[in-house]
Amino acid sequence: MSEINAKNIALLIDADNVDPNGIDAVLTVLAELGQVNIRRAYGNWAKDALKRWGDITNRYGIRPHQQFDLTRGKNATDMAMTIDAVDLLYQGKVDGFGIMSSDSDFTPLVTRLRQDGHPVYCFGDAKTPEALRTACTRFIDIAKLIGGDDKDGAGRQSNKVDDELIELLGGAWKASSRDDDGFAKLQEVGQIAGNRSSFDVRNYGFKRLSELMRSLDRFELKRGTDDQLYVRRLR
């Protein structure tokens, strides 16, 4: 992607809610969308719990936004992030968003951003509510994302491909254009699956859809004469 033509991506971080360990992997994933030129982290920086975030903000070019807890037991981080996201949306200078949070309160925000045609990649933990997961263009479990980057492959072994994912991929294959032998373009299958679900192959320890498909005995992959990958369901 040319730096001149690269899309402008905003990463908004709920520092009160997520661990900083995955920031490297998150920025790598967001590079798929464009250049992450806007990087902001929100929280009450007076808290000891945010010290680790504070230690890395300069290193990663993240701008910390102070948000005091106005009411005991609650924080105003959600509202501050939402206001900034909407401001960025209406300024018209952002082409996509990354949201680091496991808080379902961001679900209406994510839905609103997507209604304007912006991709929204969400990064959270395993306890992230389903409402937020499904609202995102892609939801990625940070712990699994980090594990998937392990060179020894340990992260991949901890992820289970369930029947729901098999049916999602099978349904996407069935909805795709297929040749007489039943092969469909893998790219088209991936696009249809992505439109139907916020799933991401990195949640299962893989970096590419082709790698995930090759691991499943219900699908067969081949490379066509046009050098594209094709897939068909075996059973």
pLDDT value of residue 75: 57
pLDDT value of residue 112: 96
> How would you write the chain as a 3-class SS string?
CCCCCCCEEEEEEECCCCCHHHHHHHHHHHCCCCEEEEEEEEECCCCHHHHHHHHHCCCCCCEEEECCCCECCECCHHHHHHHHHHHHHHHCCCCEEEEECCCHHHHHHHHHHHHCCCCEEEEECCCCCHHHHHHCCEEEEHHHHHHHCCCCCHHHHCCCCCHHHHHHHHHHHHHCCECCCCCEEHHHHHHHHHHHCCCCHHHHCCCCHHHHHHCCCCEEEEECCCCCEEEEECC
Average pLDDT over residues 197-209: 82
Calculate ∠ Cα 201-202-207, nearest 5°.
85
Q: Which of 157, 151, 184 minimizes the C-alpha distance to 170?
A: 184
pLDDT value of residue 134: 93
End-to-end CA distance of the chain: 38
Domains 8-154 and 159-233 share a fold: no
pLDDT at 101 > cutoff 90:
yes
pLDDT value of residue 156: 43
pLDDT value of residue 69: 67
pLDDT value of residue 157: 40
pLDDT value of residue 145: 85
pLDDT value of residue 151: 41
Identify the CATH assignment for 8-154 out of 3.40.50.1010, 3.40.190.10, 1.10.630.10, 1.10.3720.10: 3.40.50.1010
Bridge partners, 140 (sequence order): 123
Cα distances (Å, whole numbers) of residue 103 to 66, 121, 191:
19, 14, 27
Give tens-digit pLDDT for 18-62.
Answer: 989 889 999 989 988 899 999 999 988 888 888 889 889 999 999
Predicted structure pTM score: 0.76
Average pLDDT over residues 112-116: 95
4 versus 174: which is more confidently predicted?
Answer: 174
- Give the relative orientation of helices 186-196 and 163-175 as an angle to the nearest 10 degrees: 120
Please, which pLDDT band fits residue 105 given cuts at 50, 70 and 90? very high
Give tens-digit pLDDT for 144-198.
Answer: 888 755 444 444 444 577 788 888 899 889 999 999 999 999 989 988 887 777 7
pLDDT value of residue 193: 84
pLDDT value of residue 16: 87
Average pLDDT over residues 91-108: 94
Average pLDDT over residues 188-210: 83
Residue 148: count other Cβ atoms within 10 Å of its Cβ: 23
pLDDT value of residue 179: 92
| Unique residue bearing structure tokens 């994510």 | 110
Domain 159-233 -> CATH class:
alpha beta
Query: Where are the domains positioned within the chain?
Result: 8-154, 159-233
Strands 138-141, 63-66: pairing is unpaired
Give tens-digit pLDDT for 68-92.
Answer: 765 554 557 888 899 999 999 999 9
